[in-house]
Structure 1
Amino acid sequence: MIRKNSVVVLATGLIFVASAAAHAGPKGSGSSRASGGTDGPDITAGVSRVQITGGAGGGGSKETVKLTPQNSNWEPPACWYEPKTSPKEVKETIESLEPPKRKPKKEKESGTIFDDLEDSNQDIADAVSKQAANAYKDYYQIDKYKKHLDEEGKGMFWEGVKNPDRKDDPEADKCSQHAYWVPEGEKPKDVPLAVSPKVLAEYAYERLPIPRTEISMNPEGRQTVNLDTWVWADKAKFKPVSVTASLDNPELSVTTTATPVSLTLEPGTENARVFPASGKCTDLGEPYKRGKKDRTPPCGVRYLRATGESGSYPLKATLTWKVSWTSTDGDGESLPSGSFSTTRDVTVKEIQSIVRD
């Protein structure tokens, strides 16, 4: 009985190893496949080789936020194809998955049930290994590109990678069907969604280290009916920020830059006036200084009715950022502007006379 259990465990282990091989990427070459897997005949590639510098990371941080594109129909790419695996690695992976050839079975005059069970489990393990090898052959389109498997240094297989922020988006599955062969030094001609300067720029969009929107007000604290409140954003804090996305091979480098351009105010009540009348303040407003009390604020609000002791108005401030990109080859263009908002609860009191510095 002990031997029988051992055989079953061995067979289970062989099946697990063979199945795991279908999820593993080729060794070497820096094709980092921290994730990946098979789904029927398809294999999804894992981590991108795109390097990000100056960014906020996948989920940002406590100090930074992601922009909301003003074009609601625009999204960064869900996936793209990039060079990932060398011919040598593809060849070695497939060879490692192919089950070894076994000698033909001979007729046995007498055998035990354990011998038969061991043979059966080995047949299952070989079948699983062969299935994994066939999945790789299909993914790398070996029937089409077989002649390139011995052409080390003459090209790379381009594979689909998913934007980690959109990996569960059905759009990301558009890059998981097959790998494509691209000769060294040539631009991909028939590769859908191939990595490009624009793809890198759009990917970097989500990594822009945008500081949270904060505003300064004068007067601070409670506001007063019919008294103009100056509102502005600190230009020392809100200044252009950039992220660079790059690949070593092919050599691509793109810098995406966001520049704060306007501050928009929504007072949270109809009983208010905003300055300017559109509520959109260019140049992020102007700090209040002594001697400006008789001037109309270039960016501000005037409340016309008190909130009462227990109430408040939600003053919403939205900072808009203009976004564009440039590349080392001279290309560049604009991307959709983005914004981030903050809301401050404002209480307004009524008073007959005020004194203001």
Structure 2
Amino acid sequence: MSAPKSSARWTAPVLATVMALLPGTAYAAGGNTDGGGNVADSQQSKGTRQDKNLGIETKIQTTVEGSPQSTKTGTLTPANSNWDPPACWYEPAYTPKQIEATVKAIRQMKFFGIGDMVGGVFDSYFKDGNPYKDYNLDKQGEGQFWAAAVDDDRKDEPEAQACDKLPFWVEDGETPDEPLAVSPRILAEYAYGQIPVPDTKIEMAPEGETKVNLPTWVWLDKAKFKKISVTATLPGTGLSATTTAEPVSLKLEPGTSDAETYPASGECLIEGGRIGEPRAKGTPADTDPPCGVKYLRSSADSPYELQATITWRVKWTSTNGQGGGLPPGEFGGAQDVVVREIQSINR
């Protein structure tokens, strides 16, 4: 059962004020307890600690399959601008003994009495019955306090503030009544943001610069553009999800209206694992490419910026059988194209 919203509302403003005055984090969030009940660090992946609500660094671990052989990679931008991978979520974080040790560590801070002030707020919540009593020590081994975790890459975004509750108790085997509680789908969405897609520097013929009204062939190294999967796992929970991205098309935007694309839509479909096609030696100069661009005007003193964007189809599966599609992702880049007039000699 999640903590009452009213508790978070009155607690967060107080903590946000006093925690901002602390010289640094003097307690450990999450992790394991050693034999003496003290909080010890554990291996954790990306995330950030939200001090005002005892958030933690996420314990989600990721593995990549099919990572591109490229020194430059990026992450997908959802084609649907109304959707993003989650910026924060709640996950199992503290045993009762860990919460007790964490609050006691805060109380030991003697800086202007802030330790007692902040510790008092936490004691009211975890110890004195509002809403928990004696840190739930009588339930040790029966469940954990779930706490907020934030994707470190998005910690400065407003969405990262959505997980503003203090840690709440969840019995082992129960599913919290909380939309942002970690789940297979949230793991899949987190994995979405971790997919390392290769850069989209395109090959062109002619290379270096092209001519007005000359079809320019465009292609990409097909060895780099294959399926990429990221599996996100939360150890100790049995929860795991795999998100797979597969390239489906290359979109060309010439950087000027004085141009034509091949095909006319500017969308080069990926067929047989190939993105475009290199121009073979001996191909007549005026042959239309399966994927490319023809500039109709010289770039003069300022090169055109040719934008090349790969669209990736994204799906997910999980250990509990759930799965489905996620919004397509895009990743692209621009490169300069110099276009010269064809010089002729009048006789």
- Give the drift of 1:151: 1.9
1:49 aligns with 2:59: yes
TM-score (structure 2 length as normaliser): 0.76
Cα distance, 1:156 vs structure 2: 0.8
Other-structure match for 1:250: 237
Alignment of 1:126-275 (within 5 A): 128-140=114-126, 143=129, 144-146=131-133, 148-188=136-176, 190-275=177-262
1:307 pairs with one of 285, 288, 299:
299
Q: Mark the CA change 1:67 to 1:186 in structure 2 (over 3 Å): closer, same or farther.
A: same
2:87 to 46, 58, 78: 78
The secondary structure found in structure 2 opposite 1:73 is: coil
Q: 1:89 aligns with which of 92, 98, 112?
A: 98
Q: Does 1:276 pair with 2:263?
A: yes
- Structure 1 runs not aligned, ≥5 long: 1-17, 100-121
TM-score when normalising by structure 1: 0.74
What is the alpha-carbon root mean square deviation over aligned residues?
Answer: 3.2
Alignment of 1:68 with 2:55, yes or no, is: no
Q: 2:146, 2:127 → 1: CA distance?
A: 12
**8 Å contact kept, 2:228–2:245:** yes
Larger radius of gyration: 1
Give 1:265 shift.
1.0
**Identity of paired residues, percent?**
47
How far has the Cα of 1:96 moved from its partner?
Answer: 5.9
Give the Cα separation in 2 of the matches to 1:97 and 1:307: 64
AA aligned opposite 1:326: T
What amino acid sits opposite 1:71 in the alignment? N
Q: Distance in 2 between matches of 1:259 and 1:282?
A: 12
CA pair 301-319 structure 1, distance change in 2 beyond 3 A = same
In structure 1, what is the Cα distance between the partners aligned to 2:48 and 2:332? 35
Give the C-alpha shift of residue 139 in structure 1: 4.9
Q: The residue matched to 2:140 in structure 1 has which SS?
A: coil
CA shift at 1:22, angstroms? 7.0
1:175 counterpart SS class: coil
Q: Which residue in 2 is equivalent to 1:335?
A: 326
Paired with 1:25 and 1:307, the residues of 2 have a C-alpha distance of: 57
Aligned length: 304
Residues 22 and 37, structure 1, Cα contact 8 Å, conserved in 2 = no
Deviations 1:100-122 (A, max 9, x none): xxxxxxxxxxxxxxxxxxxxxx9
Deviation at 1:331, TM superposition (A): 1.3
Indicate if the aligned counterparts of 1:98 and 1:133 stay in contact, CA closer than 8 A: yes
Q: Secondary structure at the match of 1:149?
A: helix
Matched residues in 2 for 1:323 and 1:135: separation? 44
Measure the CA separation in 1 of the matches of 2:78 and 2:190: 13
Give the conservation status (yes or no) of the 8 Å contact 1:90–1:149.
no
Q: Which amino acid aligns with 2:95?
A: S
Give the unaligned 5+ runs of structure 2. Answer: 1-21, 34-39
Amino acid at match of 1:133: G
